[in-house]
Amino acid sequence: MHGIYEKDLDLNLIRVFVVVAEAGSVTEAASRLYLTQPAVSAALRRLTATVGAPLFVRAGRGLALTTRGQRLFASARPHLQALVEAAVSPVAFDPKTSERTVRLGLSDANEAWLLPLLLRVLAEEAPRMKLIVMPVQFRTIEEALVSSAVDLAVTVADELPADMRRLTLFVGGFVCLFDPRHARLGKRLTLERYLEHEHVIVSYNGDLRGVVEDTFGIQRRVRVSVPTFQSIGALVEGSALLATVPERVAREITSLRPNLRMTMLPVEMKLEGAPMELLWRSTVEDDEAIRFMRDLVVRVSETEARPRGV
């Protein structure tokens, strides 16, 4: 492919050639191209020199293509037309008929509540579009976006390159998830009772430190550390373990496991979550399919993901 760029050919000369061939006249071609006749004639001379063979011959008051010119015209015209259309024609995107596949990055805290709702809306508004969901979190999101592993993502994020776009969807707090049949917390969970219990935590570092340890410097009695929120409900149910999780996660878990409950954290632990953001690269800002998917995520988040009181 690189050999194409090594050829000393101004591609604008091809455009001039095609217009002259269509018009059959340098004068008419100059008018169409908004150029002077000498400029058009000079362009034809340069192209003829590059090709190494005559492209036109005089035919009465006009010009006629030579055999070499006819071959060039037959090859160049459709490609030139396609290039012009690609440059100036708006992209046609119809969600009802689009078969586009979008790569969506989701943190594990968002997959359970967001994905089912998103798929239901897609089934109605874009039934042929497909999603490829990739796991992301605050440590991996930058690489996933920069490498184009995902087209957009929903997660928390730290600093990102300036060419990344970000939109806050919501800011949710944390709650304590527990099984009241085994963990007796009383009407109001105190810090003393909170620390008396054993805990299951989510750690992306693979250690015994979670959000409480990092925020307050408090070391809980951690029984098990897991890498995602996926198994939290199963681990808490039937045990006296406590889990400190985002409220949105707790609501999804309790909807599937009605034996579990959630309660406010001790008053000494005012734990606000980081903003949950919609993230994408500036290079896909004008991609209609990805913009459509972004709008859907925002709509679903506005109607379903607003934090509510416990």
pLDDT of residue 5: 46
The strand ranges marked E within the chain are 56-59, 62-65, 101-106, 130-135, 152-155, 164-170, 174-178, 198-202, 221-226, 243-246, 261-263, 276-281
Q: What is the pLDDT of residues 128-167, one digit of tens each?
A: 999 999 999 988 999 999 999 999 999 999 899 999 999 9
Structure-model confidence comparison of residues 77 and 222, the more confident one: 222
Q: What is the pLDDT of residues 99-120, one digit of tens each?
A: 999 999 999 989 888 999 999 9
Confidence of residue 308 (pLDDT cuts 50, 70, 90): very low
Q: Which two tokens stand for residue 220?
A: 């809980």
How far is residue 232's CA from residue 242's CA, in Å, rounded to a whole number?
10
Q: Which two tokens stand for residue 169?
A: 């969807």
Q: Quick check: 15 pLDDT over 50?
A: yes
Q: Quick check: 220 pLDDT over 60?
A: yes
pLDDT above 90 as % of the chain: 72
DSSP string, 19-32: HHHHHTSHHHHHHH
Rg (CA), the chain: 32
Q: Quick check: 98 pLDDT over 60?
A: yes
Q: Among 151, 165, 166, 167, which residue's Cα sits nearest to residue 100? A: 151
Looking at residues 61-83, what average pLDDT do you find?
Answer: 88
Q: What angle do CA 286, 289, 116 make, to 5 degrees?
A: 135
Confidence of residue 7 (pLDDT cuts 50, 70, 90): low
Q: Which two tokens stand for residue 72?
A: 């060039």
User: Which residues, 6+ apart, have CB-to-CB distance to 286 below 8 Å?
Assistant: none
How far is residue 191's CA from residue 201's CA, in Å, rounded to a whole number?
17
Q: Count other Cβ atoms within 10 Å, centred on residue 71.
A: 13
How far is residue 183's CA from residue 187's CA, in Å, rounded to a whole number?
12
pLDDT of residue 4: 46
Q: Quick check: 67 pLDDT over 90?
A: yes
Structure-model confidence comparison of residues 61 and 118, the more confident one: 118
Q: What is the pLDDT of residues 205-214, one digit of tens each?
A: 889 999 899 8
Confidence of residue 1 (pLDDT cuts 50, 70, 90): very low
* Helix, strand, coil percentages, rounded to 5, for the chain: 45, 20, 35
Confidence of residue 88 (pLDDT cuts 50, 70, 90): low
Q: Quick check: 53 pLDDT over 50?
A: yes
pLDDT of residue 157: 93
pLDDT of residue 309: 44
pLDDT of residue 255: 93
Q: Which two tokens stand for residue 7?
A: 């050829």
User: Which residues, 6+ apart, have CB-to-CB distance to 109 below 8 Å?
Assistant: 229, 245, 246, 248, 249
Q: Count other Cβ atoms within 10 Å, centred on residue 283.
A: 11
CA 48 to centroid of chain Cα atoms: 48
Q: Quick check: 307 pLDDT over 50?
A: no
Contact between 252 and 113 (Cβ < 8 Å): yes
Q: What is the pLDDT of residues 247-300, one digit of tens each?
A: 989 999 999 999 999 999 998 888 877 899 999 999 999 899 999 999 999 999
How far is residue 242's CA from residue 292's CA, in Å, rounded to a whole number?
40
- In the predicted model, what is the mean pLDDT of the chain? 90
HSE of 280 in the Cβ direction (CA atoms, 13 Å)? 21
Q: Count other Cβ atoms within 10 Å, centred on residue 265.
A: 19
Confidence of residue 90 (pLDDT cuts 50, 70, 90): low
